[in-house]
Amino acid sequence: MMNIKKNRRDVHGVLLLDKPQGMTSNDALLKVKRLFNAKKAGHTGALDPLATGMLPICFGEATKFSQYLLDSDKRYRVIAKLGERTDTSDADGQIISTRSVNITQSQIDEALTHFRGDILQVPTMFSALKYQGKPLYEYARQGIVIEREARPITIYDNQFIQYDSTKHELTLEIHCSKGTYIRTIIDDLGELLGCGAHVIYLRRLQVSNYPIDNMITLDELQNEPLLMPVDSPLQDRPKVVLSESQGKDILLGRTVIVENSVSVETLVRIYQGQQFIGAGTQILNKLSPKRLISTT
């Protein structure tokens, strides 16, 4: 075991894994880490086993910036089965109620207006949120219900795609802020429609501004490893290029004076020439280091 660890490689960058259905995010992470024989790796926001799609995995120095992906917006395609409610709000759970479905397009359109903009959402008991050091889903599996506070989230877009009235299946595309539980949206939507609903299909299409075309499956990964650059978690942040002497000062933890000025504190990408060296915060013309990478 010691020899295996010693032989692991220094790998740096971000992999956009297309997570397969039926696999946990941690299992997917471990498999990818083994394929790369990487020393250090971590994922940026778990997907349920039922879900597929974009799971950014950060390697090496890129792990220092994983929080920015955890905090970023997400986009999902979801199919809801109307008429059945489950204890987990998805197809992996047990059906707890069955009701007839008699809804019109106008009722769907009106109901969706309640799930757009800034709303409060009560997290599902089948979530990884911690209570007294244990995830909520562990309590849920024991039949214990913990009181949860509603949390503010933002639904930037909740787009109707189609409704199959024969199968009672409603397809939506949802662009949302961090901390949004799509299962809870579907469960709440089903209750608002008066028929109940649960998720039968969930695919994460996008994290931050990463393009869907850059995702790679586990099968493809074994033939053609593909990593996004270490600075990609910060791709939507302003870029500041420093001279060699300024870069040395930043890497020593010092604040430097830059030419441009900003009126509010801003998170920026820092480069020494063409080399990315980390993230910093700038206010007026003062730039201070926040997260730096090893340049040796």
| Interior angle at CA 209, CA 119 and CA 242, nearest 5 | 120
Residue 5 confidence (pLDDT): 57
pLDDT digits (tens, 9 = 90+) for 126-149: 776 777 787 777 787 777 888 888
CATH classification code of 237-292: 2.30.130.10
- Architecture label for domain 2-72+208-232: 2-Layer Sandwich (3.30)
Residues marked as catalytic: 48
Rg (CA), the chain: 22
pLDDT digits (tens, 9 = 90+) for 246-294: 999 999 999 999 998 999 999 999 999 999 999 999 999 999 999 999 8
Residue 225 pLDDT greater than 70, yes or no = no
Provide the whole-model pTM.
Answer: 0.83
Alpha helices in 232-281 (DSSP H): 244-251
pLDDT digits (tens, 9 = 90+) for 52-84: 999 999 999 999 999 999 899 999 999 999 999
- Architecture label for domain 74-207: 2-Layer Sandwich (3.30)
**CATH 3.30.2350.10 domain position(s) in the chain:** 2-72+208-232, 74-207
Burial-class residue 41 by CB neighbours within 10 Å (0-12, 13-18, 19+).
buried
Rounded to whole angstroms, how far apart are CA atoms 216 and 77? 18
Which value, to the nearest 10 degrees, does the dihedral of the CA atoms of residues 64, 65, 66, 70 take?
140
Rounded to whole angstroms, how far apart are CA atoms 220 and 29? 15
> 181 with 197: CB under 8 angstroms?
no
Cα–Cα separations (whole angstroms), residue 5 to 2, 9, 31, 107, 294: 5, 9, 15, 58, 20
**CATH 2.30.130.10 domain position(s) in the chain:** 237-292
